[in-house]
Amino acid sequence: MIEQLAESPVDFLYQQVTERFEQLITTGVLKTGDKLPSLRALTQEQGISLSTAFRAYCELEAKGFIEARIKSGYYVRYAPRSGAPTQPTPKPWTDPALVSVDDMIMQVYQNLSEKDIVQLSVAAPALELLPEGKLNKAMAEAVRTHAASCLNYEVIQGNQRLRTQIARYAVASGITVTEEDVVTTHGCMDALVLCLRAVTSPGDTVAIDSPTYFGIFSALQSLGLKALEIPHHPTTGLDLDYLENALQTVRLAACLFVPTFSNPTGTCLPDADKKRLVELLAEHRVPLIEDDIYGELYFGRQRPRTCKSFDQRGLVLLCSSVSKSLAPGYRVGWCLPGQYLAKVVQLKRMTTVSSTAPTQAAIGLFFENGRYDLHLRHLRKALHTQCLRYTQAIAEYFPPEIKVTQPQGGYALWVQMPPTINAYTLFRAALREKIGLAPGQIFSMDGRFKHHFRLCFGAPYTQSIDASLRTLGQLIREPMEPPTAE
Amino acid sequence: MIEQLAESPVDFLYQQVTERFEQLITTGVLKTGDKLPSLRALTQEQGISLSTAFRAYCELEAKGFIEARIKSGYYVRYAPRSGAPTQPTPKPWTDPALVSVDDMIMQVYQNLSEKDIVQLSVAAPALELLPEGKLNKAMAEAVRTHAASCLNYEVIQGNQRLRTQIARYAVASGITVTEEDVVTTHGCMDALVLCLRAVTSPGDTVAIDSPTYFGIFSALQSLGLKALEIPHHPTTGLDLDYLENALQTVRLAACLFVPTFSNPTGTCLPDADKKRLVELLAEHRVPLIEDDIYGELYFGRQRPRTCKSFDQRGLVLLCSSVSKSLAPGYRVGWCLPGQYLAKVVQLKRMTTVSSTAPTQAAIGLFFENGRYDLHLRHLRKALHTQCLRYTQAIAEYFPPEIKVTQPQGGYALWVQMPPTINAYTLFRAALREKIGLAPGQIFSMDGRFKHHFRLCFGAPYTQSIDASLRTLGQLIREPMEPPTAE
């Protein structure tokens, strides 16, 4: 089904260039240390735009074929071992060539319910980090003191007290809104789908991050929308030059980005880039759906700004939820749809009628009582610590060729392996060792990130996690070493 | 927006015939007591099918223009008063001509949150009929004893214990299923939308009841689907001859019917008709989405059978929820999608990820403990009593020209007024008297039921209800009497 989504001409050009260089490097025409043409030279040589050239180099870098040296340019980094083409794949690792991205996603989801697996694949807090007792108390109080409204259909726009609290948090992050601008939803994904439906029609093209959370392109696919994947810079996220170029050639109905602690790369778009993004899209009158689900989970001193806070024209539709910060199972999300408010409310009425009343009331109460602030302070500290512990273990147990991101918030480490290792193969091998991880393939529609995987640090660091990371390190080393006789 | 949905040729033919007779009768060409051509004569005269002819007469009968006399045929019933064409509309009643069906729906929904209005418009139980205390206890117990699963993402298909209970009720109603065949949803509307998306593509045509719950054609509209409205027989519901004929000429992607206690007419399709419907659709390989939301609310001795219980091929997708029987605000619904199970689960994953965990767990517990059975017994009895009380009041307070259905379950009385009274005008006048009702216009896409309204008896009969029905009777009488000087 994924294949049905047509690729844009831009995608095609960029892939051609990338593949040509991969071939030159793997066949040894270009050797380790060789300098590549400059970006400008490449554009002239290939007749492509600067951002297409940049995206090709970024991907080659991401794949480990080349490296950028400061103020010097791009160099070949990949050193094929002598026996590379005939390198044997260890027996129990099956051929992933025939597995579709959608099947891979299903497999990752399926194993979530298996209790004996160490889940390094879930971008969500471990249950022990959640204020279970306090939340249960809020729930009991909500159904007792607001019995009528908990039993009855909620007003379509959502529980008013909850909306007031959501508006309060938004105002604190620089957005000018009241509860009248907020619509509650069934989690963040429901908010994204409502907003997509409000601003697009089937057949339209929507720009998304690449890599991005697989749920996003699944949602696009289910709505009959085409995706244009915008590449990421390894540290600052979204490549705005690439997007600017794309806007000249492709008619975009909307953009859907995760600007703050993107999933899986964990990058946070700098404030200046967020401002530029909003202005750029306003110029082209393209609405921006901003997935801010990780926004409150920063490790630094203050909350990063949202794109919405730079929005002058109501073109930014901010979506979020408590699924990553408080209670995944409660399915309490919301959106601030700007000028698309009426349309979003209408669509909500037409599809889900109203939101679940008791969970909304409980979360509203939890926010009102100041418990959410307190909880967030604890959670941020715990996640930051866990991030550092996991990163240290990776440095210790994984081969030195492995690269890993340094996120400033959220749940995800994005791990890059040498191009000899297929992430889906690793996923299967890890699963046999009772370790769950998310193979890079599931973060793009064409399974492009074959040598990456996402490792989530939502669980406190324990001996079991330590052992799992050590095993993972061994699994990654295995196929890189010459096979031993048994 | 409603206008964008193209009408089928069948609709067009039938409307032409209906309008021609209306004109002949209102202009006095055909007079009270005149015999109309037989159905067979009409088909020959107009070159239309028997079911189109039947539908036209049904509508003329429903509008009060004609009446069927047993073993005799159809006769003109409508007696225009001498001043009919120039009959003055009382001052405060505004012209409804410019109000779209969608605007009317919004108006009906808007006033739901106003506390001082006597709500005769809501097809839902009054709060005092719901087991608030017992349900709150189930919720408190659920979040306490199943804390982990209430906080965490639920498995995509839904809470297993709840699904087991849903399967148990389905088996009791003659359906062979296990919990593996059940998918939980965010209320019944979410179930309907998931099932529609599983079996249709935008642009497809779906057959629906006429009249039907406005949420159903709103949902079709939001999914870019066309609707073919299948008329109802006043007592037995869905006109199967009409449907059979339509299947010959129109390519239907699916049917979406409410066969048991249809909303708003309250009719229940007889078992033999349900069987015939399932077989007819199986023959044409057309999936049937069966909205069974009122199925448990029968006034008779036993639960009516579902269409699903006659289904041999997995072509029936049954949808339901606890919104009409236990807790509207909980948004706990489900579907039994037959052979479309995998597709529905995939769509659920792609749009809402998972269902709300605490409400599912609470309802599951409430079912398990046998509390639901007990509650249903009380609720059925209360609703039956209320239905009779409301009906008696209508007989007493409303003019004798008024006709009203005699439902055997559910919440709705479908009231037919003389063709001189516009239901939307009545709705506006009633609202000024703090009475909420649902004008007939909102139960078809083209606002066809101008002289009907839905009156719901979900609230126990009180002095305030009695006074409201008396007022309503006066409002209905008012414009029918010559204006008096003041």
Complex confidence, ipTM: 0.76
Where helices occur in A305-460 by DSSP H, the ranges are: 341-351, 357-368, 371-397, 423-432
Question: CATH number, domain at B366?
Answer: 3.40.640.10
- The rounded radius of gyration (Å) of the Cα atoms in chain A is 23
Is the pLDDT confidence value at B93 over 90?
no
B186: nearest CB among A186, A329, A362 = A186
Query: Which of B413, B55, B12 shows the shortest CA–CA distance to B233?
Result: B55
Average pLDDT over residues B304-309: 96
Instruction: Kindly give the residue spans of alpha helices, DSSP state H, lying in B212-270.
Output: 214-222, 240-249
Residues of chain A with Cβ-Cβ distance to B148 below 8 Å are 127
| CB atoms A139 and B358 under 8 Å | yes
Over residues A243-260, the pLDDT tens digits come to 999 999 999 999 999 999
Minimal C-alpha gap between B468 and chain A (Å) = 22
> Could you tell me if B149 lies within 8 Å of chain A, comparing CB atoms?
yes
Segment A130-136 shows an average pLDDT of: 95
Of B127, B156, B351, the CB nearest to A109: B156
| B202–A contact, CB cutoff 8 A | yes
Task: CATH number of the domain at A78, please.
Answer: 1.10.10.10
Please provide the DSSP assignment of A78-104 as one string.
----TTGGGPPPPTT---GGG--HHHH
Highest mean pLDDT among A108-112, A276-280, B6-10: A276-280
CB contact under 8 A, B356 and A359: yes
**Considering the entire predicted model, what is its pTM?**
0.78
Strand, helix or coil for residue B281: helix
Is there a single domain that holds both residue B8 and residue B38? yes
pLDDT (0 to 100) of residue B82 = 28
Residues 330-359 of chain A whose Cβ lies under 8 A from any Cβ of chain B? 330-331, 347, 349-359
CATH number at residue B472: 3.90.1150.10
Report how far residue A65's alpha carbon sits from residue B222's, in angstroms, rounded to the nearest whole number: 47
Mean pLDDT over residues B56-65, rounded? 75
pLDDT, residue A484, reads 44
In this prediction, residues B323-343 reach a mean pLDDT of: 96
Quick check: B327 contacting A, CB < 8 Å? yes
Q: Does A127 contact B113 at a Cβ distance shorter than 8 Å?
A: no
Q: Would residue B485 count as lying in a domain?
A: no
Q: Is the pLDDT of residue B121 over 80?
A: yes
Q: Which residues of B touch A218 (CB under 8 A)?
A: 349-350
A152 → closest Cβ in B202, B328, B356: B328
CB contact (8 A) between residue B222 and residue A351: yes
Structure tokens at B125: 């139980």
Residue A91 has pLDDT above 70, yes or no: no
Reported as half-sphere exposure (CB side, CA atoms, 13 A), residue A403 has a value of 15
Kindly state whether residue B105 falls inside one of the protein's structural domains: yes
Q: How far is A51 from chain B (nearest CA, A)?
A: 31
Q: Does B319 touch chain A (CB under 8 A)?
A: no
B366 and B380 share a domain? no
Surface-to-core class of residue A117, CB atoms within 10 Å of its CB (0-12 exposed, 13-18 middle, 19+ buried): middle
Mean pLDDT of B100-126: 83
Query: Could you tell me if A262 and A287 lie in one domain?
Result: yes
Q: At what angle are helices B423-432 and B463-477 packed, to 10 degrees?
A: 130
Using alpha carbons, select from B309, B332, B366, B322 the residue that is nearest to residue B177. B309
Instruction: Check if the beta carbon of residue A379 is closer than 8 Å to that of residue A270.
Output: no
Q: What is the mean pLDDT of residues B357-383?
A: 96
Rounded CA-CA distance A126/A110 in Å is 18
User: In the predicted model, is pLDDT for residue B4 greater than 60?
Assistant: no
Between chains, do A329 and B153 touch, taking CB under 8 Å as contact? yes
Residue type, A429: A
- Give me the mean pLDDT over the B432-455 stretch: 93
pLDDT in tens, B136-146: 999 999 999 98
Which region among A91-105, A410-424, B173-187, B267-281 has the lowest average model confidence (pLDDT)?
Answer: A91-105
Cis peptide before A264 (omega within 30 of 0): yes
- How far, in whole angstroms, is CA A355 from its chain's centroid? 26
- The tally of CA atoms less than 13 A away on the side-chain side of residue B214 is 29
Residue B91 within any structural domain of the chain: no
Burial class for A228, CB neighbours closer than 10 Å (0-12, 13-18, 19+): buried
Q: What is the pLDDT of residues B163-181, one digit of tens each?
A: 999 999 999 888 999 999 9
| Parallel, antiparallel or unpaired: strands B226-233 and B237-238 | antiparallel
Q: From CA A108, how far away is CA A439, in angstroms rounded?
A: 9
For range B260-277, the mean pLDDT: 95
pLDDT digits (tens, 9 = 90+) for A357-392: 999 999 999 999 999 999 999 999 999 999 999 999
Measured in whole angstroms, the distance separating CA A153 from the mean position of its chain's CA atoms is 34
Q: Is B160 found in the same domain as B107? A: no
The alpha carbon of residue B420 is apart from the nearest alpha carbon of chain A, in Å, by 32
- Say how far apart CA A187 and CA A178 lie, in whole Å: 20
Please report the pLDDT score of residue A11 as a whole number. Answer: 62
Q: Would residue A208 count as lying in a domain?
A: yes
Of A52, A70, A85, which closes a domain?
A85
Q: Considering all CA atoms of chain A, what is the largest pairwise distance in Å, rounded to the nearest integer?
A: 74
Mean pLDDT of B380-384: 96
Q: How confident is the model at residue A462 (pLDDT cuts 50, 70, 90)?
A: very high
The nearest alpha carbon in chain A to B190 belongs to A352
**For residue A12, what pLDDT is reported?**
65
The answer to whether the beta carbons of residues B324 and B129 sit under 8 Å apart is no
- Do B74 and B180 lie in one domain? The reply is no
Q: Say what the pLDDT of residue A27 is.
A: 67
pLDDT, residue B11, reads 62
Q: How would residue B399 be classed by pLDDT, with cut points 50, 70 and 90?
A: very high
Predicted pLDDT at A17? 82
pLDDT at position B483 is: 40
- pLDDT of residue B79 exceeding 60, the answer is no
Q: Which phi-psi region, left, alpha or beta, contains residue B415 (left: φ > 0; alpha: ψ -120 to 50)?
A: beta
Contacts of B457 (CB under 8 A, 6+ apart): B383, B386, B387, B389, B390, B411, B412, B413
Q: Rounded to the nearest 10 degrees, how much is the dihedral formed by the CA atoms of A320, A323, A327, A333?
A: 40
Contacts of A195 in chain B (CB under 8 A): none
Average pLDDT over residues A67-85: 61
Q: Which of A107, A112, A152, A319 to mutate to test binding with chain B, by most B CBs within 10 Å of its CB? A: A152
Which residue of chain B comes nearest to A139, CA vs CA?
A: B140
A448 falls within a domain: yes
CB within 8 A of B74, min separation 6: which ones? B35, B36, B38, B57, B60, B61, B66, B67, B68
Residue A486: inside a domain, yes or no?
Answer: no
Mean pLDDT, range B231-242, rounded to an integer: 90
A402 Cα distance to chain centroid: 20
CA–CA distance, B31 with A315 (Å, rounded to integer): 61
Partners of A227 in the β-ladder: A206
- Give the residue-averaged pLDDT of B432-457: 93
Phi, psi of A485, deg, nearest 5: -70, 140
My answer on whether B194 and B209 are in the same domain is yes
How high is the pLDDT of residue B42?
A: 84
* Whether residue A432 is found in the same domain as residue A365: no
A241, pLDDT greater than 90: yes
Residues B100 and B138 in one domain: no
Q: How high is the pLDDT of residue A2?
A: 34
Split at pLDDT 50, 70, 90, the class of B9 is: low
Domain that holds residue B326: 132-372
- Whether the per-residue pLDDT at B90 is higher than 90: the answer is no
Which residues of A are less than 8 Å from B140 in CB distance?
A: 136, 139-140, 143
Residue A399 has what pLDDT? 93
In chain A, the residue whose alpha carbon lies closest to the alpha carbon of B198 is A222
- The residue among B372, B387, B408 that closes a domain is B372
Q: What percent of chain A shows pLDDT beyond 70? A: 90
Query: Are B263 and B283 members of one domain?
Result: yes
- The average pLDDT across B316-339 equals 97
Q: Do A197 and A275 share a structural domain?
A: yes
Instruction: Mark which of A373, A392, A407 sits at the end of a domain.
Output: A373
Above 80 in pLDDT, residue B70? Answer: no
* Pick from A127, A135, A155: CB nearest B152: A127
Structurally, chain A folds into a number of domains equal to 3
Q: Per-residue pLDDT averaged across B348-367, rounded?
A: 93
In a domain, A188, yes or no: yes
Is B224's Cβ below 8 Å from some Cβ in A?
A: yes
Please name the residue of chain A whose CA is at the shortest distance from the CA of residue B186.
A352
Q: Which two tokens stand for residue B358?
A: 């605490």
What's the pLDDT score for residue A282?
Answer: 97
Query: A193 and B218 in contact by Cβ < 8 A?
Result: no
> What is the pLDDT averaged over residues B280-293?
97
Task: Identify the residue among A352, A366, A442 best suited for mutation to test binding to B, counting B beta carbons within 10 A and taking the highest.
Answer: A352
Task: Kindly state the average pLDDT of the residues A54-76.
Answer: 78
In sequence order, what are the beta bridge partners of B238?
Answer: B232
Could you tell me if B218 lies within 8 Å of chain A, comparing CB atoms? yes
Same-domain check for residues B358 and B380 = no
Comparing B485 with B421, the larger pLDDT belongs to B421
Contact A331 B136 (CB under 8 A): no
CA distance A290 to A310: 12
Domain-embedded: residue B327 = yes
d(CA A480, CA A88): 10
Note whether A443 and A213 are within 8 A (CB): yes
Strand-pairing partners, residue B257, are B290
Strand pairing class (B226-233; B205-210): parallel
Residues A105 and A80 in one domain: no
Is pLDDT at A416 greater than 50 in this prediction? yes
Q: How many CB pairs under 8 A join A and B?
A: 157
Confidence of residue B92 (pLDDT cuts 50, 70, 90): very low
Q: Please report the pLDDT score of residue A61 as a whole number.
A: 77
pLDDT exceeds cutoff 80 at B8: no
Does A385 reach chain B within 8 Å, measured CB to CB? no
Least confident of A251-260, B215-224, B461-470: B215-224
Nearest CA in chain A to B220: A350
Alpha carbon distance B112, A156 (integer Å): 10
Asked if B148 reaches chain A (Cβ–Cβ under 8 Å), the answer is yes
